[in-house]
C-alpha cells in the first residue's frame, strides 16, 4: 500500500539546500555575528540579539516544504494556512506553485479542491484533529511539518483529557496552534478545555475555583474559547495547565502559579494532585529568544527594532518585552525601513494597525538593538540592519567588504 503520510522528511536536503541558501541566507548577519553581534560605523551601533530568527522547528518546516516540492514535481501541492507566520516565506512557497488554503469568513478551511492525486502540507502549528481527519478522508498525501514542541503540548493536553482533567491553555484561542492543541481533548469522551489569554482572564477562572463566583460571566466570556457545553461547576474541579508554545514565559508561569494558589485555597494542599497538574510547555527556542532580548536590553540600547510577521505571537511578545524598557519598532519586513525618507512603518505594541514614523532615527550617537521572531529568516534581519545604517547615509556593504 502506498504511503500517504510523512513526518520525517524525504532525504532531499542536499537537493534543496541551494534554494534555501539563496532565499534566506544573509552574509550581513554572518559578518555581524563574527564581530561579536555588533557593528559600529561613525556614531551608530547596531547590536544583534544572540538568539533570534528561525528556530529548529521553523527550519524543519520550511525545509520539508521545499523537499515536498522536489519530491512531487508533478503533483498539485496545497498548504493548510501559512507554513509559519512570515509573509516573505509564505510568498516564496506560493511562487513555487504551492497553493495556500485560507480560512473562510466562517473560520473553516475549504478542502473541497483536494483530491487523492494531490499532496497537502500541514503547517508548523499543526492542524485540528477534525481538519486532519477531513484531509485523511480525501486520500491526499499528507506532509506533516508540525513542530515537535507543539506535539509535546498535545501529548500533555491529551493526558489531561484521558485522566478527566480540564486543560486550561494559556494562549490565543483564535491562533492556529491553540486551536489544534485544544482539539486534542476530543480523543476522550468528556474531554474539556478552556483558553485564557492573560492574567486578567486567569483571575476570573481563579475566582470561580476559589469561591464559586462568576459562573455565568465565565460562560459568556469564554463562549468562543471553551469546549462545547463547558460548565464551570463541573469542569473546573480538576484542571491541568498548558500553554501555546510562543506565549510570554513569565506570564505563563505566573498564571499557572495563580491557578495553583486558587486550587489550594479551595481544596487544600493535601489533595492538590487530585485537582491540579501543571507543566511548562513554552518551547526552548521561544524562551531562548526572550532571554536573549532581555540580555540585549542590558547593553544600554537606545531603541530596538523587532523583525517579524505582525501575526506572529512570539514576535509580538519580543516586541512587548522591549517596549517595556525602550522605544520599540515592530516591523513586518525590512522594507518597512525607508532610508531615503528617513521613515519607518511599524505596528506599535498592543495595536493592530501599522503606522509610519518620520525621523525615527534622530541625529547623534545611537545604539540600536535588533532581534527577530522565530519565523523570521536571516535575510530579512540582514536587510533591516543594512537599511538602519542607510538611514544615516552609511553603505554597510562598503564597510563590511
Q: How far apart are CA 5 and CA 304, in angstroms?
A: 43
Q: What does the block give as the cell for 74? A: 508533478
For residues 23, 28, 30 and 35, what is the CA-based torsion angle, rounded to 10 degrees?
-170
- Nearest of 284, 323, 287 to residue 305 by alpha carbon: 323
Q: If DSSP codes are grouped into helix, strand and coil, which group holds residue 39? A: strand
Sign, CA torsion 272/277/279/281: negative
Asked if 247 and 317 touch (Cβ cutoff 8 Å), the reply is yes
177 flagged as catalytic: yes
- Nearest of 100, 105, 43 to residue 77 by alpha carbon: 100
Q: How far apart are CA 283 and CA 244, in angstroms?
A: 9
Backbone angles phi and psi of 205, in degrees to 5? -65, -40
Choice among 51, 177, 201, 251 that is catalytic: 177
Give the residue numbers annotated as catalytic, written as ranges: 177
Amino acid at each position: 500500500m502506498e504511503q500517504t503520510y510523512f513526518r520525517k522528511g524525504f532525504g532531499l536536503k542536499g537537493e534543496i539546500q541551494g534554494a534555501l541558501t539563496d532565499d534566506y541566507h544573509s552574509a550581513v548577519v554572518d559578518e555581524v555575528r563574527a564581530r561579536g553581534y555588533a557593528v559600529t560605523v561613525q556614531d551608530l551601533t547596531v547590536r544583534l540579539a544572540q538568539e533570534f530568527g528561525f528556530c529548529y522547528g521553523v527550519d524543519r518546516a520550511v525545509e520539508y516544504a521545499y523537499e515536498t516540492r522536489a519530491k512531487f514535481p508533478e503533483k498539485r501541492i496545497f498548504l493548510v494556512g501559512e507554513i509559519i507566520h512570515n509573509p516573505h516565506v509564505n510568498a516564496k512557497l506560493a511562487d513555487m506553485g504551492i497553493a495556500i488554503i485560507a480560512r473562510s469568513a466562517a473560520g473553516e478551511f475549504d478542502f473541497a479542491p483536494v483530491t487523492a492525486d494531490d499532496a497537502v502540507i500541514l503547517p508548523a502549528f499543526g492542524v485540528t484533529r477534525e481538519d486532519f481527519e477531513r484531509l485523511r478522508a480525501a486520500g491526499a498525501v499528507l506532509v506533516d511539518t508540525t513542530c515537535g514542541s507543539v506535539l509535546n503540548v498535545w501529548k500533555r493536553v491529551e493526558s489531561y483529557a484521558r485522566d478527566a482533567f480540564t486543560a486550561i491553555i494559556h494562549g490565543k484561542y483564535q491562533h492556529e496552534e491553540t486551536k489544534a492543541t485544544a482539539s486534542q481533548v476530543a480523543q476522550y469522551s468528556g474531554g474539556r478545555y478552556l483558553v485564557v489569554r492573560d492574567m486578567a482572564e486567569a483571575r476570573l477562572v481563579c475566582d470561580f475555583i476559589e469561591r464559586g463566583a462568576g459562573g455565568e460571566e465565565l460562560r459568556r466570556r469564554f463562549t468562543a474559547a471553551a469546549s462545547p457545553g463547558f460548565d464551570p461547576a463541573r469542569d473546573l474541579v480538576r484542571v491541568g495547565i498548558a500553554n501555546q508554545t510562543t506565549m510570554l514565559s513569565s506570564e505563563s508561569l505566573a498564571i499557572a502559579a495563580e491557578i495553583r494558589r486558587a486550587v489550594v485555597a479551595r481544596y487544600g494542599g493535601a489533595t492538590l494532585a487530585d485537582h491540579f497538574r501543571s507543566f511548562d510547555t513554552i518551547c526552548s527556542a521561544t524562551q531562548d529568544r526572550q532571554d536573549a532580548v532581555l540580555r540585549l536590553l542590558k547593553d544600554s540600547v537606545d531603541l530596538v527594532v523587532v523583525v517579524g510577521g505582525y501575526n506572529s505571537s512570539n514576535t509580538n511578545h519580543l516586541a512587548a518585552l522591549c517596549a517595556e524598557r525602550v522605544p520599540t519598532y515592530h516591523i513586518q519586513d525590512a522594507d518597512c525601513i525607508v532610508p531615503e525618507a528617513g521613515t519607518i512603518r511599524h505596528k506599535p505594541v498592543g495595536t493592530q494597525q501599522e503606522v509610519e514614523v518620520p525621523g525615527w532615527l534622530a541625529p547623534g550617537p545611537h545604539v540600536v538593538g535588533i532581534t527577530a521572531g522565530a519565523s523570521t529568516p536571516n535575510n530579512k534581519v540582514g536587510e533591516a540592519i543594512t537599511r538602519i545604517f542607510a538611514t544615516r547615509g552609511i553603505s554597510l556593504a562598503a564597510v563590511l567588504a
